[in-house]
Amino acid sequence: MAIDAATVRRVAHLARIKTPEERLEPLAAELNGILAWIEQLNEVDVEGVEPMTSNVAQALRLREDAVTDGGKIEAVLSNAPKSADGFFVVPKVVE
Amino acid sequence: MTDLTTLTLKGALDGLRAKAFSSEEITRAFLANIEAGNSTLNAYVEVTADKALGMARASDARIASGKAGALEGAPLGIKDLFCTDGVQTTAGSNMLRGFVPPYESTVTANLWRDGAVMLGKLNMDEFAMGSSNETSAFGPVTNPWKSKGSNADLTPGGSSGGSASAVAADLCLGATASDTGGSIRQPAAFTGTVGIKPTYGRASRFGMVAFASSLDQAGPITKTVEDAAILLRSMCSFDPKDSTSLDIETPDWTQSLGKGVKGLRIGVPREYVVDGMPAEIQALWDQGVEWLKAAGAEIVEISLPHTKYALPAYYIIAPAEASSNLARYDGMRFGHRAEKAASLTDLYETTRAEGFGKEVQRRLTIGAYVLSAGFYDAYYVRALKVRRRIAEDFDKVWGQVDAILTPSTPSAAFALGDKQIDPLQMYLNDIFTVTANLAGLPGISVPAGVDANGLPLGLQVIGRALDEATVFQVAEVLEDSAAFTAKPEKWW
């Protein structure tokens, strides 16, 4: 499953990372190197094995459905690139 | 008066309690060391001197009134991946430059509850993705150790390179760190320090900048095994704010020390012999086996047949989780935002291209690829199945052994710049450590000797889930047997 420049372009877009044209080929080469090494996983017999998503063998805890926090507008906005009147300000997105 | 900064954490806590010196005195001594050495070592990205002195005075008042906590007055360094209320937290990334959390991570909150003093925030690989600290937006950290007869700057390892360098150079008594594939144990091995990653779920991940959530775990880097037992206990707690936090008691691990290893069965996994491993690493491992045998342990050769698949599985699982976790950095609510963009998508893409460094971009791209339609089952799901095979390997040997002994790393510290060309070469650093992350097991690195160039080498002990007690017991015997007293010659 070799990756070409077009695939890198598509995946970089999926990852929302702007990648200049001249970087596509070198990135494809790097990713192919890494993926070729990863291919050895195909040697492992995984027939009937459950995928392991967590190390913690416990059901997720539930808590009472009640307000536990809030009313911290200033704290929430304190790191916003831009804010006004208690809101995040983002660039106009309707084109 | 002795140099307070050369004390162990235990020694300093004893001195503080006996009022041999004050927290303000020892804090000032560390601040002076940082002032003198940090521009060379680059271990701290931010020094919080005023905060440290304020905390130290408050500690002195509590000591005077007989209300000292477990870490009262001890000056520590904090890896810049733990959110600290009111103090910039960047995870080594330009994406978070200027980010000041309005809340405290649970791990650091526990330290302050116990009376510790914060000296500042420690440098690290960007978002903990790296094994040499060279991916940090703040530049690499330098290892205080140098090869005999060479002046080349060496890496302290990564991602917790700032933590390891600061502890080794006496710029703090101990430091917090985090370990996703080896980021505590590898830097500890490279700097002659002790580093332990506890069982997954022991330490809360709340307020810890996320890399790969099913693998990330906090732990300390310290000068001795006893110091690690003390600091780890304060860091761990059950936390309802972390859904994978374990609702169990945190033991006092110092109680396990001094018990020795008589009658314990120690596994030596034959699959950890890897191609191209330096003879010195093998010799150190053999020496470790001899020490444990001499102390009364029974050595058992074991097989962990899926070991060689751990790193490739890790390099699917960790980037996949990272690509999901780091989707939050979109330039809207916090973090970097690009100035100019033609559209919303362009704004996201430009923001992330500007904010993330090369290695982070590489891993996010791999993550997006292995999770994308058509490849999800072939890569991601397969890696999760292999991960279970690796965990089962360990489950099968716990009937025969109580702990496992391996080298910590396949080499000693290498020169800065040495492995930057080929990402695969860099990834191989974690070959002995990554299995414990995939299986969620506790692992410790203990300094056990030096190589021909005088550089420290570490041995790793892996234990059963939740059995840090045995891990500490074995580690202490290695520490005592090795009698590792070498210190880097001060040049910084």
**Residue of A17, A25, A43, A95 to mutate, testing the B interface (most B Cβ within 10 Å of its Cβ):** A17
* Domains of chain B and CATH, by start: 8-492 (3.90.1300.10)
Q: Are B343 and A91 in contact (CB under 8 A)?
A: no
Q: Which of B127, B123, B130, B141 is nearest to B186 (CA)?
A: B130
CA atoms of B78 and B162, how far apart (whole Å): 9
**Number of other CB atoms surrounding residue B296 within 10 Å:** 12
Q: Which of B487, B415, B488, B492 is nearest to B40 (CA)?
A: B492
Residue A17 lies in a domain: yes
| Record: contact B323-A75, CB cut-off 8 A | no
| Cα gap B174→B222, rounded to integer Å | 5
Question: Residue A32 sits in which domain range?
Answer: 5-42
Give the distance, in angstroms, between the CA of residue A4 and the centroid of all CA atoms in the same chain.
21
Are β-strands B298-302 and B265-269 bridged in parallel, bridged antiparallel, or unpaired?
A: parallel
Give the residue on B whose Cα is nearest the Cα of A56: B244
Report if residue A20 sits inside a domain: yes
- Read off the tokens for B35: 């002032």
Q: Is A58 near chain B, with CB under 8 Å? A: yes
Report pLDDT digits (tens) over B152-202.
Answer: 999 999 999 999 999 999 999 999 999 999 999 999 999 999 999 999 999
Q: How many pairs of residues across A and B have Cβ atoms under 8 Å apart?
A: 159
A18 domain residue, yes or no: yes
DSSP-assigned letters across all residues of A59-81 = PPP---SS--S---HHHHHTT-S
Question: Which pLDDT score is estimated for A92?
Answer: 82
Instruction: Tell me whether residue A37 is in a domain.
Output: yes
Sequence-distant (≥ 6) Cβ neighbours of residue A46 within 8 angstroms? B382, B385, B386, B389
pLDDT at B44: 98
Per-window interface: A 30-49 vs B, CB < 8 A: 30-31, 33-35, 37-38, 40-44, 46, 49
Indicate which of A40, A41, A45 best probes the interface with B, i.e. most B CBs within 10 Å of its own CB.
A41
Is residue A9 one of the residues assigned to a domain?
A: yes
User: Would residue A34 count as lying in a domain?
Assistant: yes
* Whether pLDDT at A57 is above 80: no
* pLDDT at site A94: 64
Chain B residues with CB under 8 Å of A37 CB are: 312, 315, 424
Contact B367 A37 (CB under 8 A): no
How large is the greatest C-alpha to C-alpha distance in chain A, in angstroms?
Answer: 59
Burial of B96 (0-12, 13-18, 19+ CB in 10 A): buried
User: Phi/psi at A88 (nearest 5 deg)?
Assistant: -75, 140
A16 part of a folded domain: yes
Gap between the Cα atoms of B457 and B167, Å rounded: 16
DSSP 3-state assignment of B20?
coil
* Average pLDDT, consecutive stretches of 10 residues, N- to C-terminus, chain B (492 residues): 91 98 98 98 98 98 97 98 98 98 98 98 98 97 96 97 98 98 98 98 98 98 98 97 95 97 98 89 97 98 97 97 98 95 94 97 97 95 98 97 97 90 85 97 98 97 98 98 95 94
> What per-residue confidence (pLDDT) applies to B266?
98
Q: Which H or E run includes B230?
A: helix B225-235
CB-based contact (8 Å) between B425 and chain A?
Answer: no
Q: How far is CA B42 from CA B7, B415, B447, in A?
A: 22, 16, 23
**CB proximity A1 to B under 8 Å:** yes
Return all residues near B193 (Cβ < 8 A) that are at least 6 apart.
B164, B167, B168, B187, B221, B222, B223, B447
Whether A91 maps to a domain, the answer reads no
Do B231 and B200 meet the contact criterion of CB atoms below 8 Å apart? no
Counting the structural domains of chain A, the total is 1
Q: Which of B243, B313, B375 sits opposite A41 (nearest CB)?
A: B313
Confidence at A48, pLDDT banded by 50, 70, 90: very high
Terminal-residue alpha carbon distance, chain B: 23
A62 touches chain B (CB under 8 A): no
Distances (CA, A) of B132 to A20, B139, B425: 27, 11, 11
What's the rounded Cα separation, in Å, for the pair B83 and B121? Answer: 10
Strand partners, B221: B175, B195
Return residues 292-351 of B near A (CB < 8 Å): 306, 308-309, 312-313, 315-316, 323, 327, 330-337, 341, 343-350
Please indicate if any CB of chain A lies within 8 Å of the CB of B97.
no
Rg (CA), chain A: 23
CA–CA separation, A30 vs A3, rounded Å? 10
pLDDT score for A60:
81
What are the residues whose beta carbons fall under 8 Å from the beta carbon of B76, sequence distance 6 or more? B111, B116, B117, B118, B119, B172, B173, B174, B175, B176, B231
Catalytic (active-site) positions of B: 79, 159, 183
Would you say the ipTM is above 0.85?
Answer: yes
